Structure formats: C-alpha cells, structure tokens
Homo-oligomer: A and B are copies of this chain.
Amino acid sequence: MSYGGIEAGGSKWVCAVGDSTNELIAVETFPTTTPTETIGRAVQFFAGHRRLIDGLGVGSFGPVDVHESSPSWGQITTTPKPGWAHTDVVAALQAALELPVAFDTDVNAAALAEAQWGAGSGLETFCYVTVGTGIGVGVVANGRLLHGLLHPEVGHMRIPHDRARDPFGGVCPFHGDCWEGLASGEALRQRWGRPAHDLSTNEAWELEAGYLALGLVNLICTISPQRIIVGGGVAKHPGLLRLVGVRVRDLLDGYLNAPEVSTAAGIEQYIVAPALGDHAGVLGAIKLAQLRAPVKQTLPTPEAVADRAG
C-alpha cells in the first residue's frame, strides 16, 4: 500500500510517494510560485504515480483549516503570502487526482514523522519547530497532534524586543515584531541585508540565538514538551542550536526542576535537530495519508459474498 505526500511549504513544495516505512519511492521538489502553477506541478507528479497510490496527505504552510467538519476545511486561510489566501488546496487536488486527501499543517506533519521514526519516538508531548522563511511549530500533546481551536501558530507569539539593541521593527505583516517577525529567515534577511546562509557575524547569530531561546522558553512554559526538535534552514547554522540551549538555560535560571532543561548535558539532548532531516515534512504527509485518508476497500469476491449470505 503506497501513499502520496506533499510538504507544501511557503518557499518550496516537496512531493513524494512512500509506503509505511520511512523510505521514499519517488520525490520531486519545486519552488512555490502561484497556487495554480504549484498545485498543477504536484498534480502532474502524482498523475505519473497514480496507479501506485491509495491516498494523499498534505502538510501545508498556514494558517490552514484542519477541521474536517468546517466548510473551509482543506484551505490555506489568512496567510500573508501573496496570492495564496483562501486557496482550497484539498479541493484542487481531489478534483484533479480523484484521491482521498488528508490535510494538516506542514509542521504537524513533520512532528508526526518524527514521532513515528525520529527524535519524537516514544514521547507523549513534544514540539517540532521549523525556522525557515517563517517560524512554525507542530505539537504532539498527550500522544496526538494538537489542533484545538485552529492549530498552533507559535510563530506569532509576542516575545520581548529590546529596541535599543535591535531597532529593526520585524517583518510580520500582521504583528511586526512577533517571534517570526524578529527571528525568521526573512527577518534575518531584511535586518542584515543578506540571507541567513550568507550571514557570519557573531552579532547576528548572538541576537538570533537570544530570540530563538525566548520563543523556546515560552514553548517550554506553555506546552511543557519532553523534547524540542528544531529544523528549517536557519536552524542549520553551525553551532546555533548549542548556543540556543545555553540561552534557554540562562533564561529559565534553574526554575524548572528537570535535568533536561537545567543541565548542559540535558539540554543538548532536549533541543535537537530533526532525526529525519529535510524529509520529516514529506514523510509526515505520507503518514497523514496512511492514518487519515479513507483507504480503498478490496472488493469481496462473489464467492465470499455468497458464503456470508448462506
């Protein structure tokens, strides 16, 4: 039994076919352009594997509507990304491919994959954070993906902003200097005039580590995760996660009585990179399809039907 998965990110889409393991049978990545073009490329990819797959899972950038009983289920809703607000991703895919589609946030999908095969394995409650163009967080709480009213939108938390040290106003079109507004890849690009992968000054990365730590401390205080997995392009900067861990311990200042967050050795196992690397999102999307999309039934043979009737 195989499934299709899409990690529908704000800057790129990853489409893949997989089964119940963490191996991918086929994979294709392309940039996120307009909804029509981007969804069209996904449809083209899956059409080429149509006979293999029994369902499709989508982990999407958001905010999205993940409540199946809602009229706008399957849509990207109020995103500031130009052209994408109120795009009905699920309807477009279902119409073109005639497959059942499961739908969640990109980060919840990644959290699901890490729960199944990665750094969240065996944990009841943990967070998957991605720091890329934006900041998103997927949450497993009490053993299940967390949705609640909508779904976590942790990038839009408010954190302290020391304007004397950092007069940059933030990049969030809704909130200016929310967490994502101050600490996302786009914030780095606009603050320093170059993308994160070209940034090497200590000043930039010290500031970034401080902001990331403030957000993680707020996650620790609210969700009380057993571990925090931090992925995304910005988080790959060498030494960044270690520095974030130091800052998190400084900020908590011994208040929480757990070696995971109060000791140097503990925090290195507590704030970690994704075990599945860049494939967490698309593997999670495939897992979503497996868990949630209704599965085609094998038709009973006429003999079996007769047997039951007899």
Contact = CB atoms under 8 A, between A and B. Distances in A.
A125 interface: yes
B220 A175 contact: no
A154 interface: yes
A146 B255 contact: no
A224 B158 contact: no
Contacts of A125: 141, 146-149
Interface residues on A, range: 35 or more
A222 B224 contact: no
A224 B153 contact: yes
Given A158-B159, A158-B160, A214-B158, A150 B222 contact: no
Contacts of A226: 148-149
Interface in A210-254: 214, 217-226, 251-254
B160 A161 contact: yes
A275 B256 CA distance: 31
A260 B67 CA distance: 15
A124 interface: yes
B251 A149 contact: no
A256 B124 contact: no
A284 interface: no
Interface of A: 63, 65, 72, 77-78, 124-126, 137, 139, 141-144, 146-161, 174-175, 214, 217-226, 251-258, 260-261
24 contacts: A63-B255, A72-B257, A78-B256, A125-B148, A126-B148, A139-B222, A142-B144, A149-B224, A149-B256, A149-B260, A150-B258, A151-B224, A153-B221, A153-B256, A155-B221, A156-B217, A158-B160, A158-B214, A159-B160, A160-B160, A160-B161, A174-B254, A175-B251, A223-B223
The 6 closest A-B pairs by CB, nearest first: A148-B224, A125-B148, A141-B141, A77-B257, A222-B222, A174-B255
